[in-house]
Amino acid sequence: MFRAGCRGLRALRRPSSASSFGSSAPACSPQINPRVELDPALRDLLKDVDMSLGGKKRSRGPHAPLKRELEEYPEPLQENIASGMVISSPVSTELDDFIEPSYDNIGRKSPAAEFGSYGIGSVILPLELQNSINLIISETDKRQLHSDAQRLFQDRSDQDNSEDSWDADYDTKYRTKAQARQHADRDGSAFASIALPAHFSAITAVLDHVKRRLEPEWRVERIIDWGAGTGSGLWSGAYTFQEPHVSEEHKEVVDLIVSNTTVRHYLGIDKREGLVMVGKRLLRDIDTGPMRVSWHKSFREDDAIPRSEGHYTVALSAFMLSSLTTHVARKALIKEMWSSGAHVLVIIDHNTKEGFASIAEARDYLLNVGRKEFNDPEADNWDIRGSHVVAPCPHDGHCPLHFPGDIKLVCGFSQRLQRPSFVRLTKHSGKGHEDMGYSYVVIRRGPRPNNPGTEVGRVGRIGLTALEKELESQTPVKELVLHSEFESVPPATQFDSVVEDLEENRVIDEPVTPAALNAALRLEAYHWPRLVFPPLKKSGHIILDGCTPEGKIMRMTVPKSQGKQPFYDARKSNWGDIFPHPPKNPPQERVQVQRMNGKEIPVRGADIGKRGGKAKEKGVNYESLAINMKAHRKKSRRDKIYSKENESWGQEYDR
């Protein structure tokens, strides 16, 4: 009976379809249940459920929103987006809903600060110069080369043979001329392996700075080098002043070649035969291209050029003035440089007291000669009269750090050099870099350009982001209002008026081309303070000691409250930069302590140039190390004796 009237147990365990749940009658009933009349709303609901379970797609209603398709921007907008110049506007538009401002092509530093801090992080010797020096070193005895380098460029009083014991100052004097000729070749090889790379880095840093500060049309075609030595100025000038259109393979610094230079004539003046001979050997297998190289022992009258033709001529003297023993000899050299007819005079020396004193004296002499030309009747018909300082000073007055006979501070700078392998091998050092200190001055004929009174390029990516956030914070929130077809839209709202006021009060640099921006920054840079000491970077403010256009050393403080862009630029500034932002608070003048009759006069600002912090620990020499080791061994032996005696006493006590 069970088998005939009902389904089996196995059949009941099978999953039932969704349609079987439409009736509530028992499955084992032999009669068909009557049709139940459902509510129309419930019937539609069940129909929708059946359609969704059946995998059918639901049809879109008549009021369903359409899917948003990709829209094509207009061509001008595409170009702006590709160049990263899209700037958001407070007025909401259809594109503002999904376009965000992009400042990827704008640096975090302002263009003015970028211009003032431009420099070479680490100078690398081009392969062409490295190969020439390696060829000379391969022809010498390596042991003798190392001993000659120690004799000429190492401080023998330093027994630790540390990195600070080496310098690039060549002032060796011999008793007789025969002895000088005997060491000439060896001294030249040692000079090329030790001093030439260091001199090259300093000269390259100065010439590169001059190239950036002067107009792009300034094209160097002639270099007259006093104290040429092995040709450090030749290599630096040839690699710094290159043709604008060079091949792709020679655009990298390492791959620069002499034949692509704009220099057409180089004149080296030096009496040291050994150094000049090595300088000629360095150029033996080098293709100089259109550049003609000549060497003289002294400057002759026929070497000078007319003043009207000296616009593209550079008179250079690197690390020579301090080697001259008398003031008369130094003055004669500076006088020759001025009478050469060159419009730009570059003088470089070591950042020692003697080197800085030589630079300061040459600076005063050249500025005084330039001032006298305005009172000279013969100079009335000249196109260019006078002289001014291009770098590092922002003024033409007396140097605030130079006091003859009582020099405490030095206006000097530093340039890092990536050491080639031959420098490391010659010095027996594994250090991969060295810092070359130097003092310099760049004088140009003509009056100093006037202050344009403009402030362009003061906003970078940091400033733009801050201005945008400030604009958003001051923009009122626009409330949503129900819109009716029969209501008219008001011509202007409170939101629009606020936006217009913000846009009028917002200070934004005028859109200028990069060339016009650089031209304006070059004129302004003549009146920016130069940081003559390393900045003091605190958490909430930055302290900068700079030489100002007033001819004073001023301490400027840039706090966070001055703005994100000035504070960021000050925090990223370095020793030797020119800083464009004026301080929020009046700067404080720093004055050196003067001596009179052997006594110091107390004046305000006596801490000029001083930096806080822990003093550097002196290195331990071998003598002190041996004494300490001897004392340590003596103490250890004494401790062993005491320990043995204690053990014997303990054993006797146990017995």
Q: What is the pLDDT of residues 216-241, one digit of tens each?
A: 999 999 999 999 989 999 999 999 99
Of the candidates 324, 322, 403, the one whose C-alpha atom is nearest the C-alpha of residue 364 is 403
The pLDDT, as a whole number, for residue 577 is 94
List the structure tokens of 639. Answer: 């401790």
What's the pLDDT band for 435 if we cut at 50, 70, 90? very high
Sorted by sequence, the CB contacts under 8 Å of residue 313 that are 6+ apart come out as: 220, 221, 222, 223, 224, 305, 340, 341, 342, 343, 344
What's the pLDDT band for 411 if we cut at 50, 70, 90? very high
pTM above 0.75, yes or no: no
The pLDDT, as a whole number, for residue 94 is 47
Residue 255 clears pLDDT 70, i.e. is over it: yes
Span 260-281, pLDDT tens digits: 999 999 999 999 888 999 999 9
The pLDDT, as a whole number, for residue 498 is 44
User: What is the SS3 assignment for 225?
Assistant: strand
Residue 488 φ/ψ, nearest 5 degrees: -90, 145
Span 100-113, pLDDT tens digits: 555 666 788 999 99
Q: What is the 3-state secondary structure (H, E, C) of 506-564?
A: CCCCCCCCHHHHHHHHHHHHCCCCEECCCCEECCCEEEEEEECCCCCEEEEEEEHHHCH
Q: Amino acid identity, residue 400?
A: P
Task: Among 39-43, 316-320, 498-502, 631-635, name the one with the lowest average pLDDT.
Answer: 498-502
Q: How far apart are CA 12 and CA 351, in angstroms?
A: 103
**CB neighbour class for 94 (10 Å; exposed up to 12, middle 13-18, buried from 19):** exposed
The pLDDT, as a whole number, for residue 186 is 85
The pLDDT, as a whole number, for residue 19 is 43
pLDDT, mean of residues 569-588: 92
- The helix (H) or strand (E) run that includes residue 41 is helix 40-53
Span 54-63, pLDDT tens digits: 654 555 555 5
Strands (E), 128-282: 222-226, 265-269
Largest CA distance in the chain: 144
Span 415-431, pLDDT tens digits: 999 999 999 998 888 88
Span 316-375, pLDDT tens digits: 999 999 989 899 999 999 999 999 999 999 999 999 999 999 999 999 999 999 999 888
Pairing type for strands 265-269 and 344-349 reads unpaired
Q: What is the 3-state secondary structure (H, E, C) of 73-142?
A: CCHHHHHHHHHCCCCCCCCCCCHHHCCCCCCCCCCCCCHHHHHHCCCCCCECCCHHHHHHHHHHHHCCCH
Q: How far apart are CA 123 and CA 206, in angstroms?
A: 12
Of the candidates 205, 196, 273, the one whose C-alpha atom is nearest the C-alpha of residue 231 is 196
Residue 417 CB coordination number (10 Å): 24
Residue 149 clears pLDDT 90, i.e. is over it: no
Q: How many helices and strands in the chain, by DSSP H and E?
A: 19, 15
pLDDT, mean of residues 560-581: 93
Sorted by sequence, the CB contacts under 8 Å of residue 486 that are 6+ apart come out as: none
The pLDDT, as a whole number, for residue 469 is 84
Crossing angle for the helix pair 184-213 and 142-153, to the nearest 10 degrees: 60
Q: How far apart are CA 71 and CA 79, in angstroms?
A: 16
Structure-model confidence comparison of residues 436 and 36, the more confident one:
436
The pLDDT, as a whole number, for residue 160 is 52
Q: Amino acid identity, residue 526?
A: Y
Of the candidates 352, 318, 343, 344, the one whose C-alpha atom is nearest the C-alpha of residue 333 is 318
The pLDDT, as a whole number, for residue 514 is 87
Span 607-623, pLDDT tens digits: 555 554 444 445 556 67
> Do 227 and 279 form a contact (C-beta atoms < 8 A)?
no
Structure-model confidence comparison of residues 433 and 247, the more confident one:
433
User: What is the SS3 assignment for 582?
Assistant: coil
User: What is the SS3 assignment for 607?
Assistant: coil
Of the candidates 160, 208, 166, 157, the one whose C-alpha atom is nearest the C-alpha of residue 413 is 208
pLDDT, mean of residues 523-547: 93
**CB neighbour class for 190 (10 Å; exposed up to 12, middle 13-18, buried from 19):** buried
pLDDT, mean of residues 64-81: 55
pLDDT, mean of residues 93-120: 72
The pLDDT, as a whole number, for residue 85 is 45
> Do 152 and 191 form a contact (C-beta atoms < 8 A)?
yes
Tell me, rounded to whole angstroms, the distance of Cα 229 from its chain centroid: 30
Q: How far apart are CA 388 and CA 613, in angstroms?
A: 38
Going from the C-alpha of 341 to that of each of 7, 86, 302, 304, the distances in angstroms are: 121, 51, 11, 6
Q: How far apart are CA 193 and CA 187, in angstroms?
A: 10
Structure-model confidence comparison of residues 82 and 315, the more confident one:
315
Q: Amino acid identity, residue 324?
A: L
Q: Which domains does the chain have, with CATH numbers?
A: 127-153+177-445 (3.40.50.150), 462-478+494-525+527-601 (no CATH)
Kindly compute the dihedral angle of the four CA atoms of residues 128, 129, 135, 140, in this order, to the nearest 10 degrees: -170
Of the candidates 58, 56, 203, the one whose C-alpha atom is nearest the C-alpha of residue 120 is 203
Structure-model confidence comparison of residues 80 and 126, the more confident one:
126
Place of tokens 């594994």: 430
Going from the C-alpha of 363 to that of each of 61, 198, 522, the distances in angstroms are: 87, 24, 22
Of the candidates 318, 142, 152, 291, the one whose C-alpha atom is nearest the C-alpha of residue 221 is 291
Structure-model confidence comparison of residues 248 and 374, the more confident one:
374
| pLDDT, mean over the chain | 78
For residue 223, what is the DSSP state?
E
Of the candidates 504, 526, 564, the one whose C-alpha atom is nearest the C-alpha of residue 389 is 526
What's the pLDDT band for 486 if we cut at 50, 70, 90? low
Span 187-205, pLDDT tens digits: 888 889 989 999 999 999 9
Of the candidates 388, 467, 514, the one whose C-alpha atom is nearest the C-alpha of residue 115 is 514
Kindly compute the dihedral angle of the four CA atoms of residues 555, 560, 565, 567, in this order, to the nearest 10 degrees: 40
The pLDDT, as a whole number, for residue 313 is 95
User: What is the SS3 assignment for 583?
Assistant: coil
For residue 361, what is the DSSP state?
H
> Do 574 and 535 form a contact (C-beta atoms < 8 A)?
yes
Of the candidates 551, 546, 550, 544, the one whose C-alpha atom is nearest the C-alpha of residue 567 is 544
What is the Cα Rg of the chain in Å? 40
The pLDDT, as a whole number, for residue 344 is 96
